[in-house]
Amino acid sequence: MPVADPDSRAGQRYTTPEILDWVARVHAPHDEALARAFDAPEKHGLPAIQLGPSEGKVLELLLKLAGARRVVEVGTLAGYSAIRAARALPADGHVHTIEFESKHARVARENVAAAGLAGTVTVHEGRALEVLPRLVRFGPFDAVFIDADKANYDAYGRWAAENTRTGGLLVGDNAFLFGRLLEDSPEAAAMRRFHEEARAQFDTVCLPTPDGMLLGVRR
């Protein structure tokens, strides 16, 4: 009989597409607004690189657990994760999300409005490295979620460390860099710096989701 635990600790997965779909339908179902945002990339010809339903629900629950009110997201796409995040917040909470593709930003704003969250989510259009300094005045933040260009994760992580309150949350998706984390490339080096610098300022773990999700609680 196979020994399951060493295999799973070494990275073997017991999921199948059918299992992933079933658990997402049980625990992270889509209502109309979430379905609209989730399906938007395919409908509008954007890359379908949004969080999966279960990861979106993880983000939502983490923000609830952290009692988050002020949130920054780097990488909006069509607004799926921004809607997940916004739903975790109290009535006076706010999500500032950053997107540099104007078509993505337009589609996201439409989806956010359709979700009834136009007053809760602001889509800031521009390159994150240029927009983030303008958001400092809205902080300190309760959570920063990073899900954009991987070569700048280290810079986004440093901004998060400077602008997150003690006890606040850092979440970074694609922390395994699509399996290339340990390669000899500038992008992989930046992602490793993100991990190591985050560890210095936050209490961290990298959840072994399919592409890794770094979590940190600001010290």
Ligand X SMILES: C[S@@+](CC[C@H](N)C(=O)[O-])C[C@H]1O[C@@H](n2cnc3c(N)ncnc32)[C@H](O)[C@@H]1O
Reading the block at residue 195, the tokens are 């991990």
Total chain residues near ligand X (CB under 6 A): 18
Reading the block at residue 172, the tokens are 């970074």
Site stretch for ligand X (CB under 6 A), options 61-69, 100-108, 111-119, 164-172: 100-108
Q: Counting every residue, how long is the chain?
A: 219
**Interface residue with ligand X, options 39, 101, 187, 211 (CB under 6 A):** 101
Q: Indicate the residue among 8 and 215 with the shorter CB distance to ligand X.
A: 215
User: What Cα–Cα distance (Å) separates residue 7 from each residue in 160, 185, 199, 213?
Assistant: 35, 29, 27, 20
Site stretch for ligand X (CB under 6 A), options 16-24, 141-149, 190-198, 207-215: 141-149
Site stretch for ligand X (CB under 6 A), options 8-16, 63-71, 97-105, 184-192: 97-105
148 binds ligand X (CB under 6 A): yes
Nearest Cα residue to 71 out of 50, 91, 89: 89
Which phi-psi region, left, alpha or beta, contains residue 45 (left: φ > 0; alpha: ψ -120 to 50)? left
Nearest 10 degrees: CA dihedral of 91, 70, 129, 177? -100
x-marked contacts with ligand X along 45-84 as a string, rule CB under 6 A = ----xxx-----------------------xxx--xx---
153 binds ligand X (CB under 6 A): no
111 binds ligand X (CB under 6 A): no
What are the respective helix, strand and coil percentages of the chain, to the nearest 5?
50, 20, 30
CA–CA dist 18, 26 (Å, integer) = 12
**Interface residue with ligand X, options 70, 71, 100, 195 (CB under 6 A):** 100
107 binds ligand X (CB under 6 A): no
Contacting positions for ligand X (CB under 6 A) = 49-51, 75-77, 80-81, 98-101, 104, 127-128, 147-149
